[in-house]
A and B are shown apart, each in its own frame.
Chain A
Amino acid sequence: MEVFLQQLINGLTLGSIYGLIAIGYTMVFGIIGMVNFAHGDVFMLSAFIALIFFMLIASWFGAGLIVLALIVVLVLAMFFTSLWSWTIERVAYRPLRGSFRLAPLISAIGMSIFLMNFVQVVQGPRNKSTPPMLNKSITLIESTTYAVQISYKQIVIIATTAVLLAIFWYIVQKTSLGRAQRACEQDRKMAALLGIDVDRTISITFVMGAALAAVAGVMYLVLYGVVSFHDGFIPGVKAFTAAVLGGIGSLPGAVIGGLLIGLIEVMWSAYFTIDYKDVAAFCILAIVLVFMPSGLLGRPEVEKV
């Protein structure tokens, strides 16, 4: 029971990171029907940006106020990652809008290869590790053999995710921007006819997705304390799995899917074998797509001729 509780906490932490990345996938897919393959690498890039800002702050002001530093880094990483994503959309995807189906996907794969190798060239191929931070933890339950602990890191990650998701939810549901996004998702041509600037809305969608990926990147760095240039691919695919599991195009679905994938991965590692945890995630992707293509909360696709 204690082991299960501990794994539940670990799984929720990992799952919130996947959920944050998954939102970027699901929003872009919802609005332009394209798998943004470079999203995982944008996440990796944001972890690098966060790493560099952490080190800058540490060298300028010392490592005293870690929480304040975390907030500053979070804001900076969100801004600069969004700028990257905005540029990528502008350069690599916008010229291909309305082009044939495979063109944006190939462009996105090319962008993913580019980003991965760009980071490798400018920051070197080795793993980059930060000094450990927020290492203390609280013991929740203590039995004779096992103590269930929740570390400060995990509290920070889960709390930040929850707060940002709430803000994000408010933007999509209550503001005119969110209304424009939902309109574009339903019918882009009609939205344009009604005076919505579709290009701008799509740009903002990419920016929002990247900002949440940047949060995930900062959290990833805080959780593991190490990042390397190829760290974007596997979390990216898992986050996409999460988006599909939750029903692609559905925002709450992406978060639920992310949490589920995180839990499954952690439980699998704890109770079966850690070697095959990625295989488990990919198998879930295949099984879900084959038997439940619209996911948990997605709308079934209607075929019109």
Chain B
Amino acid sequence: MNLGSESMEYVIIPSKETDIDKYKNQGIKTFIVGLKNFSTGYKTILDLEQIKKLSNEVNLFVAINKMIENEELKQLEEILLFLNNTNTKGILYYDLSIVSFHKKNNLKVNLVWNQTHMVTNYNTANFYYKENVKYGYLASEITLDEIVEINEKSKMSFFVNIISHPIMSHSKRTLLTNYFKASNISKEHENYLLSEKNNPCNFIIDEDKTGTTIRYGNIINGTSAIKKLLESKISYLVIDTSYIDDNVIIKVLPLLQDILTITNLEDSKYQQILKELEKILGSDTGFFYKKTIYKVKKGEN
């Protein structure tokens, strides 16, 4: 039996539009892109006509994940109606106005529950499923066991980040602009690296029209979780290429495709591929095998 399931596929968040063809040639059929003025944290941002065209060429999910302001609501509703008449496979939402418009207008385009750090349990997945949300994009801060349990206890189809610099936080504040203004020096780039004395990892800070986003500086390599994710029939494994060199992705994709062709009996081959992936991506597995805590023991502050 192959580890790969027919219903599972790799999904790419491209760093630039021109990468899409490159990844298509490597067998990727499904992509997530941002929408002009309505997305945050996406490097490939397209307008509606570009999305319409691309939705005819690939399985396309569109992220409308910025916080929506009152004055944007009218335009947002028009956008949803437009996308409903394209071949867009789904819309990733953060703001609940999208669920509301979807319901009111009885739209057929799929919704993806994509509230970044808040997609963390099966009960809420089941709540949104009843609201006609068929997909969920799981938080990067939960464990592999939690992912498997959510998938088992919910009817939703899930996206899981397996390779990414995950987003850590998003602010409406222009934190870089403010800092440089206060320091009286000019801001020369859109993004910088932050480091902190007690942490070995850097953090990528990026500012755009929606505010400031901070990403984890290491690549999270969740490829060791793929076997279990396949066994639990997760639908989509996401490779977010933001801030990852194209050449790294090009090297990694054939190895990832190989995993889908091997059988359970060939565990040594799987381990060998994982070793190769680790050489390229590093060994930071994020929260796949590490639980966060929230109650601090006395004296541990």
Chain A partners chain B = no
Chain B residues with a Cβ under 8 A of chain A = none
Listed in ascending order, the chain A residues whose CB lies under 8 Å from chain B are: none
